[in-house]
Amino acid sequence: MKTRLPALAFIAFVAIAGIILTLSPHNMRSVQAGFLGLISPFLKTGSTMEKKYRDFREGLKTLEQLEEENKRISIANKDLSATNQTLRGLEAENTRLRKALGYAERAAFKLVPARIIARDAATWYSSIVIDRGTAEGIKADMPVLTEEGLVGKTSTVSEHAATVILISDETCKVAVNVENSTEKGIARGERGSTTAIPQIALTFITKQANLQPGQKVLTSGVGGVFPSGALVGTVKDFKVRELDGYATILPAVDLTTLEDVFVVVSNRP
Amino acid sequence: MILFPLLLVAMFLALVVQHFIGPLPPMGARVLIMPIIMFYGALALPLPAMFALTLAGGLMWDALHVQMVDGSYEIALGSSVVLYGVLGGLISGFRPLFQRGRWEIHCLLSGFACSIIVFAEYLMITFRREPVIFVFTPNIWWSIAASGIVATLLSPFFFFALNYLALRTGYDPQPLRRQPKR
């Protein structure tokens, strides 16, 4: 019996591996959600400890540094307040004009704030794990943003955690428009883009696009996953290929140091 | 044999810890701790336990990392189970040498296997993603090689710590090693 044990173990291994490999996508998603639910308390604890350590390190600042930071934040606060006032005026004007033209009222978004509890440890994927899940109304394929721009979309969702595929991942495709241009294209991460600042490729644009560095790239809303008007990034460079144009985009959001995000849960508050 | 559940727990915790270790500069190679522990298990434990470990390791890895793209999975859940099983079986072949107290070649093998894992993942996503173009930039080669180099460098520490843990639990993974002369 003892000599047969390795052979039996091998047969059992092959059988179980075969069963796992033939799971339906629905069952696979359930397995993933279950495991994410199991690991998320550990990730949350780890994230809290990491944040405390970072806060402790950052807390060791001189009085001059704190004064400088305070001054900078005060200026930024005044600037944002002024911008907010202007935008409120523009919003009111926009609503009035839309009503006058008989346009449907633009849907407001309901945002769920979430904290990043882990970054993906795999080599070929760009994703993060957030501390919000189905309990907070989050489902798969919901857009994730920050005040600076687009971050990605949700993928696997458990009760209190969700995986977010970042826009720097090759599998996250976003329909976009380029500011001050009629160009429309698809933004997607580049395979093997493992540099400190991930870059996004803008494809399906015309050879005549002649995009200039610094031009803003915004979501077009086509496809239904991402809302229109969210900033994806800015054009870094543009080149003409045999059949089309190709541009590299620098993401608007620093995806490597991101801490908090918002999930667009629905179009109505 | 309490070492088996301990290794399972260690693999799970390693998976958690890996999320807090950022990509290594300059080109973002990842530190793979979980496979090192799994490969130690392939050396320290008999074949049936090795298969169980690789099964658990592969399933945990895929459950956490495999992504759904446009409504279908680009890599089937369980692909890593097969990959880890093959690599675990290969490493397990060097178990007699490990039992005699040697571990140098096993650390190298562990690093090599980690590079194979990263390389195989790259091939799998390349075959599934359109267009099927084999892009091998220096970044990609570095990601593949660096993961293995880091794993090779880390393996002695993990092997030493896990060996100590095994001995503390009353299980000797190297029963044939030469005893020091008194």
A126-149 pLDDT per residue, tens: 888 999 999 999 998 899 998 888
In this structure, are residues B7 and B37 in contact, taking their beta carbons and an 8 Å threshold? yes
Interface mutation target, options B16, B95, B114, chain A, most CBs of A under 10 Å: B16
Give the per-residue pLDDT at A103.
Answer: 61
Mean predicted confidence (pLDDT) in B118-147: 82
Interface predicted TM-score (ipTM)? 0.84
Confidence check: pLDDT of B41 > 90: yes
Query: What residues of B are in contact with residue A42 (Cβ under 8 Å)?
Result: 13, 16
Q: How far apart are CA A204 and CA A211, in angstroms?
A: 13
In this structure, are residues A126 and A163 in contact, taking their beta carbons and an 8 Å threshold? no
A130 touching B (Cβ < 8 Å): no
Mean predicted confidence (pLDDT) in B108-131: 87
Query: What residues of A are in contact with residue B144 (Cβ under 8 Å)?
Result: 123
A103 touching B (Cβ < 8 Å): no
Q: Which letter does DSSP use for residue B24 in this model?
A: B
Q: Where are the domains of chain A?
A: 1-48+107-269, 61-106
pLDDT for B72-117, tens place per residue? 777 888 899 999 999 999 999 999 999 888 888 899 999 999 999 9
pLDDT for A214-234, tens place per residue? 899 999 888 778 888 889 999
Mean predicted confidence (pLDDT) in B128-134: 71
Question: Would the CB atoms of A156 and B30 count as touching at under 8 Å?
Answer: no
CATH code for the structural domain at A1-48+107-269 = 2.40.10.340
Residue A89, classed as helix, strand or coil, is: helix
- The beta-carbon neighbor of A122 closest among B13, B30, B142 is B30
Q: Which domains does chain B have, with CATH numbers?
A: 3-168 (1.10.1760)
In this structure, are residues B60 and A35 in contact, taking their beta carbons and an 8 Å threshold? yes
Q: How far apart are CA B14 and CA B17, in angstroms?
A: 5
Confidence check: pLDDT of A268 > 50: no
Torsional class of A42: left (φ above 0), alpha (ψ -120 to 50), beta (otherwise) = alpha
* pLDDT band per the 50, 70, 90 thresholds, residue A269: very low
